[in-house]
Amino acid sequence: MNTVRVNGELEEVQAEPGTPLLYVLRDHLDLKGTRFGCGLSLCGSCMVLVDGQAVYSCDIPLWSAEGKDITTVEGLRDHPVTGALISEQAAQCGYCVSGIVVAAAELLRRNPDPTEAEVREGLDRNLCRCGSHNRIVRAVLAAARELR
Amino acid sequence: MTDLPPLLAANPRLSAWLRFLPDGAVGVHTGRVELGQGVITVMAQVAAEELDVDPPRIRMTPATTGFSPDEGYTAGSMSVQYGAAALRVACAEARGLYLDAAAREFGVDAARLTVSDGEIRAPDGRTTSYWELPELPETDVTGTYPLKSPSQYRIVGTSAPRLDLPDKVTGRPRYVHDLALPGQCYGQVVRPPSRGARLACFDENLATSVAGVVTVVRDGDFLAVIAERIETALHAAALLRESAEWEEHPALPDPEDLPGYLLSAPAETTVLASRGSAPAAFSHEAVYHRPYLAHASIGPSSATAVLTGQTAPGAEPGRLRVWSHSQGIYPLRAELARALGLDPENVTVTHSEGAGCYGHNGADDAAMDAALLARAVPGRPVQVTWSREEELGWAPFGTAGVARVAAETDEAGSVRAWHHEIWSNGHATRPGSVASVALLTASHREGGSPIDPAWEPPLALGGGSGRNAVPSYDFPSYEVVNHRLLEMPLRASSLRSLGAFLNVFAAESFLDELAEKAGRDPVEYRLSALGDPRARAVVSSAASRAGWGTPLTGSAGRGIGYARYKNTSAYCAVVAEVEAVSEIRVRRLTIAVDAGMVVNPDGAANQVEGGAVQATSWACKEQVRFDRYGVTSDTWETYPILRFSEVPAVDVELLPGDGNPSLGVGECAQGPVAAAIGNAICDALSVRVRTLPFSPENVAAALPD
Ligand code: FES
Ligand code: FES
């Protein structure tokens, strides 16, 4: 039995210690917001915050997540970036967006007043296939203004 | 009586389109499926408008076979053109029937009643509503009730926010991947290591001895494992993969000479279109290439299936339920039934949203995988989610192709005769469009046969390879010839814009080459051959917004591309501004589109913008790589796509609809974007790159020695 702290709640998980955090979240804890995109640390759709750092949950084994503070997209529903993405209608399929919410939350914590170029660079680990990039960048900049 | 829209004629039952629900809502069952393009929002707007109810009352139900109208495929940017037209008539009928009922109740003429948010009001102030009146009888739509005139629209034509986005942005379970049914287990397929590989042997015990593995399924060259948990399935599949031995042989053409292969492979040659008489010879000619392209959705294909009512494996078939992000639930149902020997009546396919869908991807194949595995564990739902490698390596591709364009010009350099010739696979291997069972796994099973080479839909249906090969310009004579390959080394099917991507790239690049030879400005050159005022308007508008003619500094260049998608759909002109340093960077795309009456302007702009960014990615970076055995570009490292910091600014202008009918916009920018970028590169570097993508290698290869 492993214990993880997700979105502020302590959760007990019965899973092999090597299980990727992605599947712990999605299937053991039923938090489907964290999406599977590649399982290879190459797309960002599975991003979560681990102790405030945006990381690929497909690449984090359960054992290494123990004792850490994990925040998923479900824990960021009140973050201004979420509202800004909706007001900008900054998605088409939306599949990439969970990871982007997480990446943007980290970005804005580190840099509350980013330039457009810094937002783009900050999101470069997240892939979007629908071409929603420019709207997403606008939304992150709008969220930054709101946060300040 | 007016002619019913074709989809309505095929599905005339009113209750197939909408039902009034007891809680004051309206359930709308369009057969159109959400692909990430916002179609359910558009359909809800159309229904709310025609019914005179407020949009929150509209409840869009996911399409399910046996329940929703059979609209075939949601594809080809036709939802608004056709699906909305049918839904509109059905809603007008429902409204009209209720008004008649209210008129009888109140003893007044129906024409004197008004409707507001579903409430029906008589001149004397008496009211009733859709929900208070007796339920509508089961009836067929007659099309006799008048449609609202567009001048009265208050919902259609506004940028209603997407209904599905709040769930998706806040991480609520909404995708097919998120389905978690009681007793659900997880399947993982071990694909062959190469095309045409035969499974010689493998060690089943390696997998079955893993705790949590339910069973291993082998059927010919299909090998898969089912486990209680996905992590277990992945682990066991890796063990099986390691133990498996396959007989392999080189089945693919030489990737170093793909154009050579395309030009020489056995093909069926057809003159797709012609006008006037062709000259004996052409004085100008150029040849253009495109590689295979992957759909490369961010979420891989996924499906869940359960077989119920079957007493034991191998006994009489039971009922199969499938959840899939397929573009066509009815054709998928028929294909699954055919592949598994079931009666279609015993198969139910429910649409469940997937990640972005840009054409015929692996959705149907994943449904087949889940269905086949569900047979091995009757009563238990099996979810199959493809790996990234399966998605990039095994889903159908947009086909590679060669286009040769030739022209004869007059003294002013204007085109007198045009010739456009294509060599490629077709663009349609969807279930139902070829004779063979068009599902990947069906072709790997014992006794399975390869999927037939892709088919060429007639130009009247938009064409495939021939899409937009017929000039968008008023050339006095032209001829379009297609060589459809009769073998298909890599499975090709519909990818956003089909042949239009290559054809528009080729034709619009060639037009710039002709303009240059004639010493004429590319915009003026195009306008001189465009009579259609709507075509002229998009070209002029994109050019002027982009500052056409103003000087650019340094290594920058500007180029234009234009097409009317399918020659019958949206008009689109694109001006690209690029910077050519160590590699090509697209800085800005200025796009003008005329799509007639637009139901949701922000949604349409979003689609055009997204399509343009995707086309930039295709044009600048993308190429499916393979060797003689199989596809090697099966991760994001080997199949890179455009990233945030590489995405150009995109400015989309929708020209006023002017009362013209709605035209689909989802694919109109693909070809013009590639052409505009190519023309901008030539402007920047004075180098004509005729081979996509505009990678450093292809640009370098085009430089004069
Ligand atoms: S799923 Fe983790 S980075 Fe792609
Ligand atoms: S919105 Fe579809 S992948 Fe980004």
Is B189 part of any domain?
yes
Could you say which of B162, B192, B224 is where a domain stops? B162
Helix axes A133-147, A97-110, angle to 10 degrees: 40
pLDDT of B402-459, one tens digit each? 999 999 999 999 999 999 999 999 999 999 989 999 999 999 999 999 999 999 999 9
Specify the pLDDT at position B314: 60
How far is residue B16's CA from residue B64's CA, in Å, rounded to a whole number? 11
CB of A58 within 8 Å of a chain B CB? The answer is no
How far is residue B39's CA from residue B56's CA, in Å, rounded to a whole number? 16
How far is residue A65's CA from residue A43's CA, in Å, rounded to a whole number? 20
**Across all residues in chain A, what is the average pLDDT?**
97
Give the length of chain A.
148
Do B345 and B414 reside in the same domain of the chain? no
Spell out which residues of chain A touch residue B361, defining contact as CB-CB under 8 Å.
Answer: none
Identify the CATH number of the domain in which residue B213 sits: 3.30.365.10
Spell out which residues of chain A touch residue B645, defining contact as CB-CB under 8 Å.
Answer: 117, 120-121, 124
Do B408 and B373 reside in the same domain of the chain? no
Is B280 part of any domain?
no
Nearest C-alpha in B relative to A14: B229
CB of A74 within 8 Å of a chain B CB? The answer is yes
Domain total of chain B: 3
Query: Which residue, among B229, B174, B638, has the nearest Cα to A98 in the 3D structure?
Result: B174
Helix (H, G, I), strand (E, B) or coil at B485: strand
Interface test with A, best of B169, B613, B639 (most A CBs within 10 A): B169
Cis peptide before B693 (omega within 30 of 0): yes
How far is residue B572's CA from residue B647's CA, in Å, rounded to a whole number? 20
Kindly provide the ipTM of the predicted complex, given to two decimals.
0.98
CB of B183 within 8 Å of a chain A CB? The answer is no
All domains of chain A in start order, with CATH: 2-72 (3.10.20.30), 76-147 (1.10.150.120)
How many angstroms away from the CA of B546 is the closest CA of chain A?
18
Phi, psi of B10 (to 5 degrees): -80, -25
Is B209 part of any domain?
yes
Is B681 part of any domain?
yes
Residues in chain B, pLDDT under 50:
1
Is B264 part of any domain?
no
Do B447 and B381 reside in the same domain of the chain? no
Ligand 2 atom, smallest distance to A93 CA: 2
Q: Would you call A129 and B296 a contact, using CB atoms and an 8 Å cutoff?
A: yes
Do B370 and B406 reside in the same domain of the chain? no
Q: What is the 3-state secondary structure (H, E, C) of B61-85?
A: CCCECCCCCCCCCCCCCCHHHHHHH
Whether the Cβ atoms of residue B595 and residue B656 lie closer than 8 Å to each other = no
Specify the pLDDT at position B8: 87
Specify the pLDDT at position B150: 87
Do B375 and B413 reside in the same domain of the chain? no
Specify the pLDDT at position B77: 59
**Across all residues in chain B, what is the average pLDDT?**
94
Could you say which of B385, B417, B451 is where a domain stops? B385
Distances (CA, A) of B636 to A128, B252, B606, B623: 12, 22, 25, 12
- Helix (H) and strand (E) counts for chain A? 6, 5
The predicted model scores a pTM of 0.95
Is B354 part of any domain?
yes
Specify the pLDDT at position A5: 97
CB of B165 within 8 Å of a chain A CB? The answer is yes
| Ligand 1 interacting residues, C-beta cut-off 6 A | A 36-39, 41-46, 56, 58
Specify the pLDDT at position B621: 97
Interface test with B, best of A35, A130, A137 (most B CBs within 10 A): A130
Do B620 and B674 reside in the same domain of the chain? yes
Do B570 and B431 reside in the same domain of the chain? yes
Query: B634: domain range?
Result: 401-702
Q: Probe ligand 1: pick from A19, A26, A45, A124, max atoms within 8 Å of CB?
A: A45
Specify the pLDDT at position A101: 98
Is B273 part of any domain?
no
Which amino acid belongs to residue B118? Answer: G
Element (H, E) at B421: strand B415-424
Interface size, chain A vs chain B, as Cβ–Cβ contacts under 8 Å: 175
Do B406 and B336 reside in the same domain of the chain? no
First to last CA, chain B: 69
Do B415 and B490 reside in the same domain of the chain? yes
How far is residue B353's CA from residue B323's CA, in Å, rounded to a whole number? 9
Tokens of B511: 């037009």
Do B513 and B583 reside in the same domain of the chain? yes
| d(CA A43, ligand 1 centre) in Å | 5
Indicate which ligand has the atom closest to the C-alpha of A90: 2
For B171, the closest of A33, A96, A128 (CB atoms) is A33
Do B137 and B35 reside in the same domain of the chain? yes
Is B392 part of any domain?
no
DSSP string, B242-278: HH-EEE----S--GGGHHHHHHHS-EEEEEEEEES--
Cite the beta strand spans of B295-361 per DSSP E. Answer: 302-308, 319-324, 347-351
Nearest C-alpha in A relative to B211: A16
Do B155 and B180 reside in the same domain of the chain? no
